[in-house]
Structure 1
Amino acid sequence: MASNNNQQPGLIASHVEYIKGAAVGAIGAATGSEAWKQSGEEEKQHGISAMKAASENRDPATQGYGKVEELAGRVTGCEGMEKEGAESAAHKGQ
């Protein structure tokens, strides 16, 4: 059960990092700053890697946030988050 507590914060933090990277990249695109675009892309890639690592052993029946996670995935454009939220919701009967 200890892995439950360790996986969720890592998964949440990695999603936040991805979203932050997307925002930094958008600012770079809007301002024409290659440094910001590059930094945003690096953050997004690191977030994706961290998400994959955090969700490798995740059990959607006991871990996850269901519909909330699915909707957050839709809003942020994160397909993995949307998919995992849907799987978790199905197991929780949401």
Structure 2
Amino acid sequence: MSDKNNASLLGGHAQYAKGAVEETIGNVTGSQAWKDSGVHDKQEATETMRAANQRSCECPVISSGTEKKIGHAVGCQGMVQNAQGKERRQ
């Protein structure tokens, strides 16, 4: 995988986590703006990660175990599934 794909995949994960935090803040405070921002960030992040994964299935920068833990922590089922796919290919 090229460095650009790694950066896209990592950036997508970071953006998804950011969105999850924003959405949680919105839920806790009742702020619709925070909720909307979080949902938007998560949608964009999902698109970014999907595009990066289509270019290549492997991400050597993030281990499957780490990716799975992060996926569970932020509620990103795509990260969990991607990690499980890496484990099956190993």
TM-score, normalised by the number of residues in structure 1: 0.80
The percentage of aligned residue pairs carrying the same residue is 31
Structure 1: which 4+ aligned runs deviate by more than 3 Å?
none
The one of the two structures with greater contact order (alpha-carbon pairs below 8 A, sep at least 6) is: 2
Superposed CA RMSD: 1.6
- Check if 1:54 corresponds to 2:66: no
Gapped regions of structure 1 (runs ≥ 5)? none
Instruction: Report the equivalent of 1:88.
Output: 86
Gapped regions of structure 2 (runs ≥ 5)? none
Question: What is the deviation of 1:26?
Answer: 1.0
Give the distance between the partners of 1:79 and 1:22, measured in 2 at CA. 13
Deviations 1:20-67 (A, max 9, x none): 11111111111111111111111111111111111112234xx34222
From the CA coordinates, give the structure whose radius of gyration is larger: 1
- The count of aligned residue pairs is 88
Instruction: Report the equivalent of 1:6.
Output: 4
Give the distance between the partners of 1:32 and 1:66, measured in 2 at CA. 35
Instruction: Report the equivalent of 2:14.
Output: 16
